[in-house]
Copies of this chain bind each other. A is one copy, B any other.
Amino acid sequence: MKAVCLLSGGLDSSTCLGVARREGFECYALSFDYGQRHRIELQAAARIAGHFKVREHRVVRIDLRAFGGSALTADIDVPKDSLKHDGTQGIPITYVPARNTIFLSYAMAWAEVLECSDIFIGVNAIDYSGYPDCRPEFIAAFEHMANLATKAGVEGRTLLRIHTPLSKLGKADIVKLAAEVGVDLGLTHSCYDPDQEGRPCGHCDSCLLRLKGFKEAGIRDPLPYL
């Protein structure tokens, strides 16, 4: 059975890919070069794709910078040392408008061409609850829409299913699951603002959240923080 797996190269998407592999799917990894400031994550994605021996890894270049509106794609400072990912402080500035909608739309296109009906995405509704497009109700609505949008859906063939195995897990549980499904944690990249060599800053939202997760899981993060 084939599955399209969205892969950013971060801890979550890498774990999600590991889960898909463990469930026996033949994986097609899909990454995006969207003008993200932390493009080093694409190298991490390639390493993880190789590590899990995916059937194919495609990197699609898309232009989210065309619209701006986020610290991850526009010239807005990435916030430091103030964890804004916990959902109590509204939607963070690192939110990229329509990002997951666009990513899932491409995944859906590839799934349709591959004649595959499973998509994996490592969204998380706990730690990323400030991002509207990480919530289960969004995923359910996307799945419903996708099944009306595609040839397979209309012709009554296998319906598209969007798997979100990390949706209800806290970061510590994701770290444990990552270890369990065989993610090489040293290959993943989470930092929004790494240095030239790709070393994580240790101070952006994403680093703080990751470090907290490792600490709570009692596992040492192998990354070379600055």
A102 touching B105, Cβ below 8 Å: yes
A98 and B91 in contact (CB under 8 A), knowing A132-B150, A137-B148?
no
Q: Which of A19-27, A138-146, A165-173 contacts B (4 or more CB under 8 A)?
A: A138-146
Across-interface contacts of A106 in B (CB, < 8 A):
67, 98, 102
Consensus secondary structure, chain A interface: helix
Interface assignment of A1: CB less than 8 Å from any CB of chain B: no
A141 touching B144, Cβ below 8 Å: yes
Minimum distance in angstroms from A77 CB to a CB of chain B: 18
**A99-115 at interface with B (beta carbon < 8 Å):** 99-102, 105-106, 108-110, 112-113
B91 touching A151, Cβ below 8 Å: yes
Contact of A146 among B101, B108, B109 (CB under 8 A): B101
Offer 16 A-B interface pairs, CB within 8 angstroms, sorted by A. A60-B66, A61-B63, A68-B113, A91-B154, A97-B110, A97-B112, A98-B105, A98-B108, A98-B112, A102-B102, A132-B148, A132-B149, A132-B154, A138-B149, A144-B144, A145-B145
The 7 closest A-B pairs by CB, nearest first: A98-B109, A141-B145, A69-B113, A97-B112, A132-B154, A97-B109, A138-B148
